[in-house]
């Protein structure tokens, strides 16, 4: 169950990441639509520069990857997207120096790498990018490279300002929009996992057929009943029930008939006790009733009579009426035992004494604890 849940979780995360990357690619396409015309117009102000050719190449790449993104793997889409961003950032620095958008693009690449592949790979990609920036910085500082244009002309160009403002807006949308969607999907996944864990926990603690607490939960409830008895200086009772005639019905009419008997009888037992008490199915046709805070045994005797009466009521199965009875063994805490395990053994022994002496009855464990 755990392996299947883990596989389902990993698959859901991959789907969410794929949706996130597709949204990023769409935003990148929008950046191309706005940025490419402005970049080409800036060509008129500054003359031809290599960044414009690279811009055209990357724009074509962005269009193609958006057209065919349904046929490309998540890792491939992420790799192409980050590589394109790194090229844009580095060429921008090479062309415009500190006036370029290289540092901004580097931060975005690190962020996206962390989402897609984790912290270690993101650190490696960021380190490579930083080393390349440092190399370009060394070249500028030592006058190996110089800006390709007159930065005064660049700064006074409307198109230059326009492209920087558009880039800032689009990159901001790239970080806010898809990330917000990713966070929503992540929260949804956490809720699904929480619900799945609650379902698994319920199945582990409850009988699938009847919905009653299982033996695992019965032990906890019995310990709790004992703690209440100690705190209130009162008694708790444990009733061990075994259906009489159930095996015969199961063998004669099949498991469907047996299941109906168990479901019906368990429902009757559940309705016969208080909300503070517990009815458990511990296996086969055996049940435990944990009765807390009793003042005397008279009420337990009346309950045993009522339980036998309820068990004997016929159950409709097709055109037949099927019926069982019940043998009940009763043990009282702290009169018969000091702990949950011993108390259960006492109730079990009393129930088998009933089985030996005619069934369809009840008996209190009659030996006091020593």
Q: Hey, what are 116's tokens?
A: 């897609």
- The candidate with the shortest Cα–Cα distance to 92, out of 42, 27, 142, 17, is 42
- The first and second tokens of residue 15, run together, are 């789907």
- DSSP code of residue 368: P
State the average pLDDT for the chain: 82
3 pLDDT exceeds 70? Answer: no
Q: Is the pLDDT of residue 286 over 70?
A: yes
> Could you tell me how far CA 102 lies from the centroid of its own chain?
39
Its pTM stands at 0.54
Give the pLDDT confidence score for residue 171 in this predicted structure: 67
d(CA 202, CA 213): 9
DSSP string, 176-195: HHHHHHHHHHHHHHHHHHHH
108: pLDDT strictly greater than 50: yes
Predicted confidence band of residue 240 (pLDDT cuts 50, 70, 90): very high
For residue 263 the two structure tokens come to 């479901």
pLDDT in tens, 64-96: 877 787 788 878 888 888 888 888 788 888 877
In 3D, which of 260, 240, 254, 255 has the Cα closest to residue 323? 260
The pLDDT tens digits of the residues spanning 290-349 come to 999 887 889 999 999 999 999 999 999 988 899 999 999 999 999 999 999 999 999 999
Angle at 107 between CA 27 and CA 88, to 5 degrees: 60
Question: What's the rounded mean pLDDT across residues 43-56?
Answer: 69
What are the tens digits of pLDDT across the range 121-177?
989 999 999 999 999 989 988 988 876 666 676 677 776 677 667 767 766 776 676
d(CA 49, CA 97) in angstroms, rounded, equals 14
Domains along the sequence of the chain with CATH: 2-200 (no CATH), 215-364 (3.30.70.270)
The answer to whether residue 213 scores a pLDDT higher than 70 is yes
CB atoms within 10 A of CB 285: 21
Band (pLDDT 50/70/90 cuts) for residue 370 is very low
Regarding beta strands 362-364 and 325-333, do their DSSP bridges make them parallel or antiparallel, or are they unpaired?
parallel
Average pLDDT rounded to a whole number, residues 209-222: 87
The span from the CA of 217 to the CA of 306, in Å, is: 25
d(CA 241, CA 263): 15
* Residue 103 reports pLDDT greater than 70: yes
Q: Does residue 4 carry a pLDDT above 70?
A: no
The top-scoring range by mean pLDDT among 92-101, 181-190, 285-294 is 285-294
Question: What's the pLDDT band for 351 if we cut at 50, 70, 90?
Answer: very high
The C-alpha atoms of residue 339 and residue 224 are separated, in whole angstroms, by 11
Other Cβ atoms closer than 10 A to 131: 10
């Amino acid at each position: 169950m755990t392996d299947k849940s883990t596989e389902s979780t990993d698959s859901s995360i991959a789907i969410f990441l794929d949706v996130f990357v597709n949204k990023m690619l769409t935003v990148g396409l929008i950046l191309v639509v706005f940025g490419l015309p402005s970049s080409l117009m800036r060509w008129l102000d500054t003359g031809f520069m290599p960044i414009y050719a690279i811009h055209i190449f990357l724009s074509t790449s962005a269009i193609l990857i958006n057209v065919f993104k349904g046929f490309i793997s998540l890792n491939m889409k992420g790799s192409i997207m980050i590589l394109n961003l790194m090229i844009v950032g580095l060429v921008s620095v090479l062309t415009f120096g500190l006036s370029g958008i290289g540092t901004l693009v580097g931060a975005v690449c690190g962020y996206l790498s962390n989402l897609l592949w984790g912290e270690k790979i993101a650190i490696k990609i960021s380190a490579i990018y930083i080393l390349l920036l440092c190399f370009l910085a060394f070249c500028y500082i030592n006058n190996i490279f110089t800006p390709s244009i007159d930065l005064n002309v660049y700064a006074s160009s409307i198109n230059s300002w326009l492209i920087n403002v558009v880039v800032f807006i689009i990159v901001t949308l790239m970080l806010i929009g898809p990330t917000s969607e990713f966070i929503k999907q992540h929260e949804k996944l956490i809720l699904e996992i929480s619900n799945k864990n609650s379902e698994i926990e319920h199945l582990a603690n409850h009988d699938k057929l009847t919905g009653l607490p299982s033996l695992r939960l019965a032990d906890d409830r019995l310990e709790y009943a004992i703690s209440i008895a100690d705190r209130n200086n009162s008694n708790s009772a444990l009733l061990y029930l075994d259906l009489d005639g159930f095996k015969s019905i199961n063998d004669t009419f099949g498991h469907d008939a047996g299941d109906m008997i168990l479901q019906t009888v368990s429902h009757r037992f559940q309705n016969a006790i208080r909300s503070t008490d517990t009815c458990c199915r511990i296996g086969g046709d055996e049940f435990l009733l944990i009765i807390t805070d009793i003042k005397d045994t008279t009420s337990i005797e009346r309950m045993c009579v009522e339980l036998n009466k309820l068990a004997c009521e016929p159950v409709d199965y097709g055109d037949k009426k099927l019926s069982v009875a019940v043998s009940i063994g009763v043990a009282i805490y702290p009169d018969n035992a000091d702990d949950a395990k011993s108390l259960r053994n006492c109730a079990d022994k009393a129930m088998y004494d009933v089985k030996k002496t005619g069934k369809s009855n009840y008996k209190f464990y009659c030996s006091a604890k020593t």
